[in-house]
Structure 1
Amino acid sequence: MQIKHSVLGKGDKKVLFDIQMLLYYKQEFDELVKTGEYTFYFLERGQFTSLFSHDFLNRVSFSGLDKTYKKNSDLKDYYQSLLSFCREEKIKACVFTSTGQYWHPDFLQLLKKEGITIALSTADDDTSAIKYCSLPYTKYYDYHFHVGVMYDKEGKTIADVLREHGGNPIWLPLGARADHINQDIRFDNRDIELCYIGNMNPPKFFRISKLKRHFGDRLKLYGAQGNGDRKSLKGIFYKICNKLFRLGYIQKLTEDELLEVYRRTKIGFNLHLVPYKGPSNSRMYELASNGVMQVCDNKLGMSRVFEDGKEIVCYETIDEAIEKIEYYLENEKGRIEIAKAAYLRSKNEYSYLHVMEKILFVLFRNDL
């Protein structure tokens, strides 16, 4: 079986990713290959995901992967072909992203026997997905990069849970893409008082609805599903919820429009599916990278990312969020000070180029 992939670079340090990273991070990888050290390989994800059933993709247990592996000869052929590919190309490290559900431990063990360092990189460990995508698989990897901080409100961290399951966790920020970082920043003359950009998932409806009732048209809502005007069942569902929770108009944005909204916004509201799990969403880094002062939940774990009161403003209840938003809408100087501090922190530490440099340092630190 021929392994479908793309390649970038000509260096001796060869790293394989199971996703087309260049779709989102081309500037970062172009910068990395300029050193002459690296060659990056990117698998065509559809080639191996098509080998799994739809039910499997809806988060089954480890036994589901084992069952698929034992019965699916095409999957075994793909694993063997990929192993041969790694051997022929002299791959030094593999980074498997999003979930461990595609890669059976038997295959991972064969990679290790070839002297290949393997890492799992997950971004949804602050949700229930950790039970399916991370915990059953973490022990089979040399490293597990994770972006979330807190696991529960009693103080247990995601790193604690991964270690309990035999993993070797390393926290990394999710980071902001180079093309989502405003290099020509201004913190004043912003005409949108408050915005929320993101999906309107059911656990968020009550919280956003309360915010909308208070701020009215001062709060602008933007989301991928827009105002629920699609003719799909999901679109109809969002349209009903919009009316039920009186959220008003939710605008869909192109990427250019997204960045323009960031540049015009004074305060960005942020929340997670579970208020005490995380913090880990991309919105947190993009708001900071565009000079938007951020009001966010996840106060318990936030100190790992931003300093409350200096780089971000945290809340525990929506009433507290409303009070703090109103205060900083009146206190322009304080808002700008916090926005500037977060912008500098994000630009200097949390760009995706910095994230990739940390990943590569870990993967190749034994070569130093």
Structure 2
Amino acid sequence: MASSAVNLLDLAAASLSSVIVAADLIREMSTTDENDTGVLPSHNNVRLKADGSVVTDADFAAQSIIVQSLQYVSNDIRIVGEESEEEMAKKSMTGMEDKIQAMFHLAQKEIQMRYNSDGEGSSDLPFPLAQQRLAQNDDATNAETEASPSTSQDRALEKLKDCEVDPSRVSVFIDPLDGTKCYAEGEFDAVSILVGIVLDGMPCFGVICKPFGYAGHTTVMNTECVVFYGGTLLGAAYTAGGSTLRYSLEGKLPEDLPRAVISGSKAKGIIKEFVAHLGNKGIVQSEPLLVSGAGEKSLRMIIRSHKEGLWFYPKAGTSLWDVAASDAILRILGGKLTDKNGKNMDYSRSQAEALNRNGVVACYDATLHAECIRLFTEGSWEATE
């Protein structure tokens, strides 16, 4: 028997609503001990997985909420999450169905409004996920920058016309708690929730949620989280409940050049050397920003609060669920995300094969991305690693 078609707009709404519910749980489980040491209490069961990475009960609980929400729309889509189904089942969040469905209906209305708009975020009514104390356009003071002709016209992509598709064409990648090590240590700025919808091998919708807020951006309703979402499905990118995401091109002065973001623990060797090489050529600023968390790094390419423009990581260490959401959003903003050889990520890979062995190169601008890939592949950088 053939599977029923899945509505991508409803799937996007489920992705959006579920991260908001999951963010509330992540915050609830993040309470530090009475000595304020920044170490999570034992009830969150911080431990190491077989691969040596840190995991907590919050990781499994958050993924359970997201999966439950997606399956509310369709049981036939392919879902690839960071956490195993066996462990997730042990932490299944029962009793949250009413909250999940109530948030879904609000997100569904907002997604429909975005899809039916001109991409400018205009509407005669406040968006359903808007901060309740704000008027419709009050969050225009966010750190979202003004659009330039090049971003609003030349780079604009049409939204998808056919939203009813066979579920066999759809995959959803979930990182329920990116930056778990930072979370376990009480460092919440690096924490993100990532959900990416992939259609026919190409990311078409992404959600990046910051459970503990994001400077310069208004929160969702009366929660503490800030959510960014969009892709070719909608033809634009947005802040949940707020305005359209876009940025203008920099000028020609050195201080106007984009900045690279790298991990503090990786601020040496091939990564630092190649960024310095780009700096010497006047392509990026010479000094990179040190940023923790794959989700936070990719979000910096999207928000660009400090002119961030390049995430260069040419080695294994990330997985498909770390990049699917940002890949979708960067595409609609004129950016690009590939491996170190300039090849698109292969989203057909299974959870067991999800490691990005050839690294990640993400740029806010496709032209910058092409130049970085060219300089890297034409050089002898592999020998210096």
TM-score by length of 2: 0.31
Structure number having the greater helix percentage: 1
TM-score by length of 1: 0.32
Which of the pair has the greater relative contact order for Cα pairs under 8 Å at 6+ separation?
2
